[in-house]
Structure 1
Amino acid sequence: MKRPLKPCHNPKCRELTRERYCEKHKAAYEEKQKQIQKDYDKQRGSSTERGYDYRWQKASRSFLKRNPLCVCEECKKKIVPLPANVVDHITPHKGNMKLFWDKNNWQSMNKRCHDKKTAKEDGGFGRDSKR
């Protein structure tokens, strides 16, 4: 079933579309989003610059061996929780290395659950985003 036609999100456009933007404005919107993401990534720094280096990989693998199941609220309700493959910082560290390395601030999660949690915390974009 096709979605109903609705006005393009560009305020000056009267075209009807099934997407967010009509074909005329879709490319400009996507280009703008790419630039926003590129600027955000530059500001954020690489994963290594944020502390996710070899030392972190080694520590997180060890933590996951000792804590192999996802601990999110959704998985706790399941008879068999999802296997964990990501170490999550319960309280986002935001560059605070003391909080980053505090093992009491770690929890094992499945990537899907972790991505949902992080998106919720970040508002769907990034912690330092000004959107």
Structure 2
Amino acid sequence: MSPRPSARERGYDTKWDKERAAHLKAHPTCTRCGAPATVINHRIPHKRDFSKGGLFWSRSNWEPVCAPCHNGPIQSEERRK
């Protein structure tokens, strides 16, 4: 199995950093448990759809979550799909 590409290689660039920070400022709590949100989860996996209007940039596809929810139950759900 080849190593996973870096976050930058997967499209999480400085534009994403700014958009992510703004979204978390506007939506500061985890939608799953109510803890402070630190991660933006893409509800529907974007599969590198970086086009304008694509899943990566679609705010309606963004879900603010905390790291424990993202790294635990959400990742488990995605592996089962």
TM-score range, shorter chain: 0.7 to 0.9
The two structures, once aligned, show a CA RMSD in angstroms of 1.6
When normalised by structure 2's length, the TM-score is: 0.85
SS at match of 2:10: coil
2:80 paired with 1:120 = no
Which residue is equivalent to 1:92? 45
Q: How far is the alpha carbon of 1:49 from its aligned partner?
A: 1.9
Structure exhibiting the larger radius of gyration computed from Cα positions:
1
Structure number with the bigger relative contact order (C-alpha 8 A, sep ≥ 6) is: 2
Comparing both structures, which one devotes a greater share of its residues to helix?
Answer: 1
- Residues 47-66 of structure 1: per-residue CA shift (max 9 Å, x gap): 11211011101100000000
Amino acid at match of 2:19: A
Which residue is equivalent to 2:58? 102
- Structure 1, gaps ≥5 residues long: 1-35, 76-80
SS at match of 1:99: coil
Match of 2:35 among 61, 73, 82: 82
Identity score, percent: 36
- Structure 2, gaps ≥5 residues long: none
Distance across 2 between alignment mates of 1:107 and 1:119: 16
Regions of 4+ moved over 6 Å: none
- Paired residues in the alignment total 77
Which residue is equivalent to 1:69? 29
Distance across 2 between alignment mates of 1:122 and 1:94: 14
